[in-house]
Amino acid sequence: MPDADLAAEVHHSGGSYPVVAGWGTIDTLGDRFTDLGLTNTAYIITDSNVMNRYARNVQRALQKRGIPAHIYIVPAGETSKSFELAQSIYHWLAELKAERGHTIVSVGGGVPGDLGGFIAATYLRGMPFVQVPTSMAAMVDASIGGKVAVNLPQAKNLVGAFYQPKGVFADVQTLSTLGKRELAEGWAEAIKHGFILDASLVDLFEEHAEALMDNEPEIATEVIRRSMAIKANIVSQDERETLGIRILLNYGHTIGHALESSTEYGQYFHGEGVAVGMMGAATMAQEMGLHSQEIVDRQRRLLERFSLPTAAKGVPVEDILNGMSLDKKSQGGSNRWVMLEDVGRAVVRSDVPRELVEKTVRDLTG
């Protein structure tokens, strides 16, 4: 029987996997693991916030189908994406005599997702891996596409791999315990997906902005599925970010990342930085004649309905410009900008005049 909750299939060099979003999906995990043949012991990696809310339920759902499940809890927050914690988890797995046919399961946001994936990619040279994302960022972005990593003091995500999961199972109900600001910053990434690749998704956001901020089951689940499908489609075409397709997901990220790092990750959530960055990129594209002012205004109106920032008043211009020069996606010293040609159609441009970049950042911050 077709799976009504299936958002997409990701196809990659080693096979394919389902990306699922539903309401109450956690309760179905025992069956889903069994369907995928993942009936051996599971090792759940979660964080201290998600543990009692959701990871216990994941454990119960697996145990009900006879799948033994252990849990490792890391402290909530980005600092847990470290080698030190990875090492502690390796020791834990060794003590429990984990085998190559057992399964690593990440339950939580992008931090347990990236960390659990890194463990799965490396312990015993690779173990089956499943993502159960519970934050918006993890559902529509981090859990799909197989990028796994830990941070070094020098920079985030410096050590990692492309390691695809066996399945991604999102329970949209879990988003009900996120704060409004966390929910909105997650929607920023999904809105971004619409602007770069799917004009009808932007229409949906415009029709249902308030319902989405209330996490109304039917519409929230549908929009998350659509957004997951966009990411799944892109990574299926460009598994290892070599073909210039996956980079489109970076719309808004050049200024966004620089804004996050120049404010030392304390002032702007990732999705908020992306929202400001989307406005910068749209303004520049309009100046370069790629699209009309109407698109800039439409994007601004939509982001504002999700209470997302569209400017970064007071942040020093130089700090943002310096941050941009460290962008990992730059080539030969110049930034590659993802810009819209229309709603739902994006391109990459490396010929944005320096003066235009500086003027745009000045306007965003002034």
Ligand X SMILES: NC(=O)c1ccc[n+]([C@@H]2O[C@H](COP(=O)([O-])OP(=O)(O)OC[C@H]3O[C@@H](n4cnc5c(N)ncnc54)[C@H](O)[C@@H]3O)[C@@H](O)[C@H]2O)c1
User: Between residue 66 and residue 105, which ones bind ligand X under the rule CB under 6 A?
Assistant: 76-78, 81
**Is 53 tagged catalytic?**
no
**Dist. CA 325–CA 30, nearest whole Å:** 47
Q: How many of the other CB atoms lie within 10 Å of CB of 285?
A: 23
Residue whose CB is nearest to ligand X in the complex, by number: 110
CA-wise closest residue to 237 among 12, 82, 17, 9: 12
Which CB sits closer to ligand X, 189 or 198? 189
Any contact of residue 174 with ligand X (CB under 6 A)? Answer: yes
Catalytic residue among 32, 270, 300, 336: 270
Q: How far is CA 183 from the centre of its chain?
A: 13
Any contact of residue 3 with ligand X (CB under 6 A)? Answer: no
User: Between residue 96 and residue 155, which ones bind ligand X under the rule CB under 6 A?
Assistant: 108-112, 114, 134-135, 137-138, 141-142, 145, 147
Any contact of residue 50 with ligand X (CB under 6 A)? Answer: yes
Question: Residue 333 class from Cβ within 10 Å (0-12 exposed, 13-18 middle, 19+ buried)?
Answer: exposed
Catalytic residue among 32, 225, 226, 231: 231
Which CB sits closer to ligand X, 5 or 141? 141
Catalytic residue among 147, 192, 225, 336: 147
**Is 147 tagged catalytic?**
yes
Provide the CB-side half-sphere exposure for 331 (13 A, CA).
9
**Dist. CA 326–CA 227, nearest whole Å:** 29
Catalytic residue among 32, 166, 226, 257: 257
Which CB sits closer to ligand X, 68 or 217? 217
Min dist CB 307 to ligand X, Å, is 17
Which CB sits closer to ligand X, 149 or 281? 149
Min dist CB 229 to ligand X, Å, is 16
**Is 12 tagged catalytic?**
no
**Is 97 tagged catalytic?**
no
**Dist. CA 309–CA 338, nearest whole Å:** 19
Tell me the β-bridge partners of 334: 331
What is the per-residue DSSP string for 233-270? Answer: HHHHH-TTS-SSSGGGGGTTHHHHHHHHHHTTTSS--H
Segment (H or E) for 277: helix 270-287
Backbone angles phi, psi at 95, to 5 degrees: -65, -35
Select the span of 21-29, 174-182, 205-213, 299-307 touching ligand X (CB under 6 A): 174-182
The three-state secondary structure class of 77 is coil
CA-wise closest residue to 265 among 128, 126, 78: 78
**Is 151 tagged catalytic?**
no
Catalytic residue among 182, 241, 287, 358: 241
Any contact of residue 310 with ligand X (CB under 6 A)? Answer: no
Which CB sits closer to ligand X, 250 or 365? 250
* Residues constituting the chain: 366
**Dist. CA 123–CA 202, nearest whole Å:** 41
Any contact of residue 178 with ligand X (CB under 6 A)? Answer: yes
**Is 250 tagged catalytic?**
yes
Select the span of 23-31, 47-55, 63-71, 199-207 touching ligand X (CB under 6 A): 47-55
Min dist CB 39 to ligand X, Å, is 27
**Dist. CA 57–CA 237, nearest whole Å:** 34
**Is 241 tagged catalytic?**
yes
Catalytic residue among 151, 250, 260, 300: 250
Residues that bind ligand X (CB under 6 A): 47, 49-50, 76-78, 81, 108-112, 114, 134-135, 137-138, 141-142, 145, 147, 156-157, 174-175, 177-178
Catalytic residue positions?
Answer: 125, 147, 189, 231, 241, 246, 250, 253, 257, 270
